[in-house]
Structure 1
């Protein structure tokens, strides 16, 4: 019950504004820490009390030695019983309670809560990044940054909190107690503080810089390794195990060099601090003995001075490793920040409204788009798709057909022009509602590494088993699904499909994708090489289901096999991002343009169309 109370102090999944984390290290930290600031204040206060208790025990030890020398043994407990009882209470009850409270706040509240809150918010933000964002990075590296930034930010923050109080309280209290015994005892400690601060001032920025470089190299290694695993079939087909080894080895070699450089800096700092610590103990002990020899301080003061010097020595080495950990974690946070704080390129505009599709009328008006190139992929294209019209989009590879679909789905932003659906500019609509009203089957069908059922439910969450079976039957997929066994206890609809659906054939993945769109039943349908992975017999069987699916919908279909879209209401031919021909199959053949040449090339003049 006690653990649960502390575990609930941070609401990991609380609603927050869906905005980009700020750039700039301090602002990035503050963005997350301000969400749990009351808890961090409590941790600071508890840490302060814990450090004061530690120093008080050392102070009492010196006082205890003096009391034993100045009080007759028979009267010791009678005179000082109250003091002894108080310190016993501090050591046996108060100190464990404060330490326990610190552990509960750290291990039950902050460690799991803050870490996973940061992970959740970063994952939620990245999910809505633009498509180009994911195309420009390794999936493994993105996942690593989401997973590692949270614990790195948490650890560096908690290390700063702990180190802050230990340094301030121990050094400050030691100076005060030394001054109380004899001001001259302050000299070694004051010189040590100056040397320690100078060492940190020199080495810490270098550790930070080299830790950030090592973290970036570590992410590069992760990206290359995951890239190889994700494309293991290609690697084996081309017998490129040796090349893949060298690809990863190059990144690992770079990481090794960066880590060694970082380790040299840490080792140099360690040797310097250890030397300074030895000087502190020897100088403090020698000075205390010299003062005691001259009756300037008591025996208890010697015990206090040496005890605190040894404790500060241990603390200094601990702080040094903490500082190293802090800046190693800061390097990881800095590396993650460069990815996680990137602004989204495609945003819902302020006041965006849900889309309504009463008719399905699509208009492309003077659209221009390029993928960061000088020349446009699509330049000044106009196209009007009437409500319920079924058009076939045709053109050579690279003509801009798939780009046009991506722009319709607003996966990228136009440079010029606009796209209207039922007189609604898609930039004024929410992206979720836009894509919810467009069903898409692509040639590169990618399934989630989940069960068949979960993949199908992407089309219609909450669909019944009867609806699932009906969609599978129409997609001619029920036969092979009944016999699926993933080798992990999953059968039929419960079978896992593997990463990107690798346990299924291309035709099987395509049929699952078609069933998913059948379930979605959106008013606008996009078929981008929807039957490219199917053999002719299965394609002919599914075509009837697709014809049923297309009834009453506005359809844009892309296919390189022209015979599959020649029966559409209208064919639109584009080349180099411009519309060059439009008309029916017969009209375009009669015109003798690009479509006629493509048809002639595919059929050799022997395939007709009924």
Structure 2
């Protein structure tokens, strides 16, 4: 029923049961009692017929009905006990697996997310994890209880008439072969179905996240077809699983019934020759009839079992994924903010060429440095290396003359604040979003001060509950400029000595950009700032401008120096002014 390579997987799942051993043991004990009660029914039936109807013993006539009622009370109570106990354990196991997955996801390197769509991870976290539950509940109940019931009934049949029982045993190897063959197919179909479900979640996630783009570009028909294709794939694998599982039960039953027919024939002969009493015949026949239901459940348990094991494989792939490596051992408090890139080389996994080629930049504490260049020039890659989202393949990045690979990740990132064009806010209050990531406890006054400095209190005061207003998923109830000012307030409250600004105003209108730029100027004071900007007017007042070209440093200097040099920066500047996308630079206030 379970392939050899699946036993290790099943044992690993049962390891998650260990904290709930007492409840699990209670469930198993209740299953054993329930199986014993079910196997006792034909024996009780024999005594009832032989004692009450054949021998006409009055004691049996009074005791047997009571015994029958008592037996079914025990059976009912034990059935309730094992169902509730094992369901309790199963829900705890699924909860623990989800927590383990989520905790591991929080520690995985960014390269993992580059390879795995978020919707696929969501599908594993929700749908796949839930598929494991039947392994602890219905599948386990079937395997343990029904196996014990079958063993008990077969044992009773052997005791009653071993010759007739041997006829039934001849079909067991055939049944085992059928179940083994079906198991392989069910595992394959279950894995394919779960992958298709991940694709379905991915498509739905993309569509639900882009309603404006789909409507403006007329993509509804295309998305409907894409969703229909993936949904059809899910249905196709579901039907393959259903057909295979549905054929399994009747096939096993047909094989069992062939043996049953032969047994009935020989049992009739045995009764005629007084080798078997009437009660014994009815009891033997009843035991065989009772065997059919647990045999059917045992043959059909493969569907849920293989689906659960396939789901467990995908869940453990996440849990076993290698977390982000923290090679640092040195602890640092607040850094002065000096950053130095020394011949840094980096290539993305699977890429054919380097994204950075021997980049060297020395940034002084408190200095504002802007990174500019065409798309793909290496600006974002360079910035991603500072908090060690990725590690350089060669060269080094030093913070206060300490290689960042030697610094504990928590200490390194505690010294860095990040503001990007893609603002990430959480479905919580304004205050909670500002306080997110701030070290230790923060007071209401500190939150208000940060919001004031970021020019955010101007709109927060107008919100229904002020700082306590729920902002919706990713701040959907706020404008782009308001969301950006909240992210700046969050960075202000963190008060890190190094500030990374990635296209922080590129998606804003002129008025919002003006307000946000004032907030950014407040945020930059006293901090080492690395800024990526396509709008050259926003970085004209930077202390230095580093021009990137194809992963290399092409030019370094102030805005005026680079314009006077008439090089690559001058060309970028001229292109923006010619397109009318960059207004003239304003002097620093």
TM-score between the two structures when normalised by the length of structure 1: 0.87
2-structure distance, mates of 1:75, 1:520:
85
Superposed counterparts of 1:52-451, under 5 Å:
52-69=36-53, 71-74=55-58, 76=60, 90-92=71-73, 94-107=74-87, 109-344=88-323, 346-349=324-327, 352-371=329-348, 372-451=350-429
The answer to whether the 8 Å contact 2:372/2:379 transfers is yes
Superposed counterparts of 1:495-514, under 5 Å:
495-514=469-488
Match of 2:558 in 1: 584
Deviation at 1:465, TM superposition (A): 2.7
CA offsets 1:95-147 (integer angstroms, 9 cap, x no match): 4553343234213x313211111111111111222223223333222112112
Match of 1:567 in 2: 541
Q: How many residues align?
A: 575
* Residues 110, 295 of structure 1: alpha-carbon distance in 2 compared, 3 angstrom cutoff: same
2-structure distance, mates of 1:32, 1:410:
34
**Cα RMSD for the two superposed structures:** 2.7
In structure 2, runs of 5+ residues without a counterpart are none
1-structure distance, mates of 2:9, 2:411:
31
Deviation at 1:241, TM superposition (A): 0.7
Superposed counterparts of 1:17-32, under 5 Å:
26-32=7-13
Match of 1:557 in 2: 531
Deviation at 1:179, TM superposition (A): 2.2
Secondary structure of 1:132's match? helix
Secondary structure of 2:473's match? coil
Deviation at 1:569, TM superposition (A): 1.8
Of 468, 473, 483, which residue of structure 2 is paired with 1:494? 468
2-structure distance, mates of 1:214, 1:541:
51
2-structure distance, mates of 1:453, 1:538:
21
Match of 2:14 in 1: 33
CA offsets 1:232-255 (integer angstroms, 9 cap, x no match): 222122121101001111212222
* Residues 76, 575 of structure 1: alpha-carbon distance in 2 compared, 3 angstrom cutoff: closer
Q: Does 1:479 align with 2:458?
A: yes
2-structure distance, mates of 1:259, 1:105:
30
Deviation at 1:409, TM superposition (A): 1.5
Secondary structure of 2:276's match? coil
1-structure distance, mates of 2:129, 2:361:
47
Deviation at 1:406, TM superposition (A): 0.8
1-structure distance, mates of 2:395, 2:36:
68
* Residues 357, 606 of structure 1: alpha-carbon distance in 2 compared, 3 angstrom cutoff: closer
Deviation at 1:353, TM superposition (A): 4.4
2-structure distance, mates of 1:33, 1:429:
39
Secondary structure of 1:368's match? strand
CA offsets 1:35-64 (integer angstroms, 9 cap, x no match): 323354554444233212221233222223
2-structure distance, mates of 1:261, 1:97:
37
* Residues 224, 165 of structure 1: alpha-carbon distance in 2 compared, 3 angstrom cutoff: same
Q: Does 1:523 align with 2:503?
A: no
Secondary structure of 1:500's match? helix
Deviation at 1:296, TM superposition (A): 0.3
The answer to whether the 8 Å contact 1:510/1:533 transfers is no
Deviation at 1:522, TM superposition (A): 0.9
> Which deviates more, 184-193 or 245-254?
184-193
Deviation at 1:464, TM superposition (A): 2.7
Match of 1:455 in 2: 433
2-structure distance, mates of 1:173, 1:254:
43
Secondary structure of 1:531's match? coil
> Which deviates more, 315-324 or 455-464?
455-464
* Residues 105, 430 of structure 1: alpha-carbon distance in 2 compared, 3 angstrom cutoff: farther
CA offsets 1:60-95 (integer angstroms, 9 cap, x no match): 222232222464444547xx95x8877765543x44
Of 493, 515, 532, which residue of structure 1 is paired with 2:506? 532
The answer to whether the 8 Å contact 2:150/2:294 transfers is no
* Residues 28, 578 of structure 1: alpha-carbon distance in 2 compared, 3 angstrom cutoff: farther
Deviation at 1:225, TM superposition (A): 1.4
